[in-house]
Every structure is written in C-alpha cells, then in structure tokens.
Chains A and B, each alone.
Chain A
Amino acid sequence: MRHRAVLSHSALTPIHVVLHKVQKRISILLALLGDWSAFIGVVLILGLGTSWYMIDVGTPLTTERQGPWTGWTSAGRADADPYTRAHFARLGTLQLSAEMTLTFVAFTDNEGRRLHSSCDYNVEGREPGASWWSLTVFDDRGELIANPAQRYAFTSQSIAMRPDGTFLVALARDARPGNWLPTGGAGRLALVFTTLDPTTPLLANPDDDQKPLPAIHRVQCR
C-alpha cells in the first residue's frame, strides 16, 4: 500500500521520488552499518574481553585457588598453556618452573577485601611440609616496600614458629612483636607465598579446617 502511495505521489512530484529513494537508501545503509557496528562491538568485547579475563584473572583450567591465594599451575613450564605464558609475559616476572616451585599470590584478605597498607593483617598458617618456603610482601606493582628494618619476607629458615607448628605474621605499618612484615605507606599490597617443593600437599584438602596456605585476616584499619 505504502509503495503504491509513493508511486502515485511520485507521479505528481518527481523530486519527492528522488528524495524518497535517497532516504530509503540511507536508511538501508544505516541499518546495515548498525548491524556491522553491533557485530564489531560484540566481536571486540567477546574476543578481547574473554582473552583479557583468562590472561589476567585465570580460570580453574589454568589456576589453583584457595581462599585469597591464586597459583598458576603451569607457570614457567615449556608446555605451559598460552594464557599462562601471556599472564607472566605481561606481568614481567621471572617464573621458575612450576615443576620446581609453587607460587601463590594474594591481593585480598580472606574476606575478599583488597590488601592495603592502611590496615593491619594477621597472616596465620602452618608449615607446608618439610620443604623450604617464603612469604613476601610487595606493593601491587611487585616492588619491595622500603623500611628501616630492611625486612621484606619471612622464610621457613627465618620465621619464629609456634610450638604446635603454626606461625603468625603481622602485616602492619608500625612495629609488632614477633614476626612483623612492615607495609609502610605502600598503598595496595600483594602477598606472595612460595614453596620450592611442588609435591607439598598444599591443596590436598581444600575443605580441611587446617588449610596449609596461610589465612589472611584484617585486624584493623586507620
């Protein structure tokens, strides 16, 4: 009906026919462009978004998680998956093979709140077997936090253990008795837990009350 009306109208005023044709072609072009822009948008968001997520955050396919700790299971290995390779290339770290070392990083406490130097934390755990291990605090760019005590990490050789085989590390700006790791005014923090023996059953019993990876609890904030 509309077509016929246009024809009848065009018979009267040819200039309107031309205008109508132009308008119609523009609307078709816009519809086509709309489809293509939506297509490109979806492709970019899906393609780059999922790639970024799998490289930056990781999935159960590439990482082991326990509480706030995340470890990339094939880090540094010659047969590492592309996501792990891209993750550490972007991070710029020197990754020793996951066959030799296990490294877990935490950016949050056990309640999921971002670690920050304006808060004090208790890091509590038990010795993960007989292997050598270390607990290091960095700022979120991976740089050590300068402090007068020149203390940046505790290892299985330097930490003061409790008689029951557990340990407590206080993460705080000001000095604390016992195992104290200074955080200064670093801002956002990252904790790195490394063990040199990947056969250590760090993740053997994730539902066990006595989890081998240390728990990070916020004590107070200023």
Chain B
Amino acid sequence: MNIRDKLKHANWQLIVAAPIAAGILHICATLAAPYLTAASAYSRLAPALPLNKIQVLHPITPGAEPLPFLSPHARYAMCRFDTANGPVSVTATLPPDPGWMLAVISPQGDNVYAAASTPGRSTPIALVLVPSEDHFLGVTPEARGIARDVQPPVPIAATRGIVVVRGPDKGLAYKKEVEANLGKARCSGRSF
C-alpha cells in the first residue's frame, strides 16, 4: 500500500481528534498537578504547626529541613491559619534590616500578601485574614459607633494557609535578636 492509499484509508476523525484530546488532557493534567501532589509545602508544614499560633522554627540545618531548598541563611516563624471559625489577626514589625519579609501563603503556594522590610525604618504590619467565602462576620466597630484608636488592619481574603515571617540569619551574635523579632509576631483568632 503506497502513501496515497494509506492516507485515503486513514481515520481522519481520530487524527483530528488526537491533538484536541491531547490539549484537553494537557490542560487537565496541568491544573490538577498542584492538587495531586502529596508533597506540597503546605501539606509538609501543616501537621507540624499549631493552628492560629505563631511558631519560631529551629535554624535550618542538614537533616532538619522542613522543606526542600529552604534557605539556611534565614530564620522563619510560621503560623498555620484557618479562618473557618472567624477572622485571624496577624501583626508583626519588620526591623529596618534587609532580608526581613512577611508573606501569607495559600495551600496552593500563592503569596496572597507579601511585604518586605524597608531600610532605615521599621515596618509595622497589621492584617486580618478573613474567609474568602461570603458570609456575615459581624458588625465592624465603626458600624457600632466605636472609633478605632489604631489604623484598621488590612483585610486579606484567605481561608487556609500559612503566615511566614522570614528574618536573615546573620550568625550567633544576632541569633537572640532575630529570634526575639520573630517571636514578636502574633497570629490569633479574633472577632471582627
């Protein structure tokens, strides 16, 4: 059978359908991949972190890395949060040194919120994590006629995730200072 005959007898419906089906499979496999992996950062960290409470992690050393490719030149404080039972308040003050960061990371790895330190001045951060689904959380102090004495926190829509405060590990001489700054971060459930 020559090429012309082969082409004549080819199943053109399947030939045309193959790349379309492959495209659909490509999209499904790509979108499903983050949910199918059992080793995402969130699934590795979550069992070791208390709920709605900040925890300063030990220095990153060989054999004690909570995650792969985690910088050993940084110290971390983390809080696993869940806003199912109400908003979660997060406060931290980033010192004026380079390398300090605060990030709110979703289980899928998205940085829902991220802030870095500013040279020359401290960076106070006040967030309130609220559920991403629409439901009534209560009446705001302003609506009740109560004026706030502080700047209102920034509302961030996130149902579950991890708050990460990262500080540079500058060696033994700075260890206590860095740990103290990390320990000052707060993460707790609150009313609206």
Once A46-B26, A50-B26, A95-B109 are accepted as A-B contacts, the answer to whether A35 and B101 lie under 8 Å apart by CB is: no
A55 to chain B: closest residue by CB: B33
Say yes or no: is A100 at the interface (Cβ < 8 Å to chain B). yes
Whether the Cβ atoms of B108 and A94 lie closer than 8 Å is no
Q: How far is the CA of A47 from the CA of B30 in the complex (A)?
A: 10
Neighbouring A residues of B68 by C-beta, 8 Å: 91-93, 138, 141-143
Determine if B25 and A153 form an interchain contact, defined as CB atoms under 8 angstroms apart. Answer: no
Whether A46 pairs with B19 at a CB distance below 8 angstroms is: yes
Inside 8 A of B71's CB, which chain A residues have their CB? 134, 136, 153, 192, 194
Q: Does B37 contact A (CB under 8 A)?
A: yes
Interchain CA distance A146-B64 in the complex, whole Å = 11
B29 partner, pick from A51, A99, A138, beta carbons under 8 A: A51
Q: Is the CB of B101 within 8 A of A96?
A: yes
> Known contacts A134-B73, A196-B98; is A48 also within 8 Å of B29 by CB?
yes
Tell me if A8 is interfacial: C-beta within 8 Å of chain B: no
- B1-36 vs A, CB cutoff 8 Å, 1 = contact: the mask equals 000000000010010011101111110011101100
Given that A76-B109, A85-B109 are known contacts, is A94 also in contact with B67, CB under 8 Å in the complex? yes
Query: Are B14 and A36 in contact (CB-based, < 8 A)?
Result: yes
Q: How far is the CA of A187 from the CA of B67 in the complex (A)?
A: 19
Closest partner residue, chain A, to B15 (CB atom): A39
The main secondary structure of chain B at its interface with chain A is: mixed
Instruction: Name the A residues within 8 Å of B31 (CB-CB).
Output: 82, 86
B79 located at the interface, meaning its Cβ lies under 8 Å from any Cβ of chain A in the complex: no
A138 and B69 in contact, given A47-B23, A77-B111, A96-B114 (Cβ under 8 angstroms): yes
Contact of A100 among B26, B60, B70, B116 (CB under 8 A): B116
Q: A39-B14, A46-B18, A46-B26 are in contact. Are A144 and B37 (CB under 8 A)?
A: no
- Interface size, B (range): 35 or more
- Whether B175 sits at the interface, judged by CB under 8 Å, is no
Beta-carbon contact of A92 and B72 below 8 Å: no
Q: Residues on A close to B: CB < 8 A?
A: 35-36, 38-39, 42-44, 46-48, 50-52, 54-55, 76-78, 80, 82-83, 85-86, 88-97, 99-101, 105, 131-132, 134, 136, 138, 141-146, 150, 152-153, 155, 157-158, 190, 192, 194, 196
How many angstroms between the C-alpha atoms of A190 and B68 in the bound complex? Answer: 11
Q: Which of B36-86 contact A (CB under 8 A)?
A: 37, 39-41, 44-45, 60-63, 65, 67-73
- B residues in contact (CB < 8 Å) with A: 11, 14, 17-19, 21-26, 29-31, 33-34, 37, 39-41, 44-45, 60-63, 65, 67-73, 98-99, 101, 103, 105, 108-112, 114, 116, 164, 166, 168, 170-171
Question: Which secondary structure dominates chain A's binding surface?
Answer: mixed
Contact partner of B108 (CB less than 8 A), chosen from A89, A131, A190, is: A89
Determine how close the nearest CB of chain A comes to the CB of B25; give it in whole angstroms. Answer: 3
> How far does the alpha carbon of A78 sit from the alpha carbon of B106 in the complex, in Å?
9
Would B72 and A153 count as touching, CB distance under 8 A? yes
Given the known interface contacts A47-B24, A89-B109, the answer about A157 and B170 at a Cβ–Cβ threshold of 8 Å is yes
Q: Which residues of A contact B171 (CB under 8 A)?
A: 158
Q: Is the CB of A54 within 8 A of B65?
A: no
- Are the C-beta atoms of B17 and A76 separated by less than 8 Å? no
Find the residue from A47, A152, A158 having the highest chain B CB count within 10 A.
A47
